[in-house]
Amino acid sequence: MEKRKLQKEWVDRVVNKPALIEADAIDASLEHRLGPVPELANRILRVIISRAEPQRVITAYLDRKMKGEL
């Protein structure tokens, strides 16, 4: 998150209230949660989490391919 300059607040927001949830195409134990970040002109943040409890954030990044999709 630090390297990509993503704030924990943004990641937490998308994990807890995603605009879209997608299953991972390769690993069924992972889930993609997507949501806009108003602080970044509504760019889409993709957060990949584990489905197992406790949920863990695997990675998070701004998804350029989803621009204008949500």
Q: Over the stretch 18-54, which tens digit does the pLDDT of each residue have?
A: 999 999 999 999 999 999 999 999 999 999 999 988 8
CA distance 13 to 22: 16
Per-residue H/E/C for the chain = CCCCCCCHHHHHHHHHCCCEEEECCCCCCEEEEEEEEHHHCCEEEEEEEECCCCCCEEEEEECHHHCCCC
Looking at per-residue pLDDT, the higher value among 70 and 34 belongs to 34
Q: Find out whether 46 and 35 touch, Cβ atoms under 8 Å.
A: no
pLDDT in tens, 4-17: 889 999 999 999 99
Distance of CA 56 to the CA centre of its chain: 12
| pLDDT for the residue 3 | 86
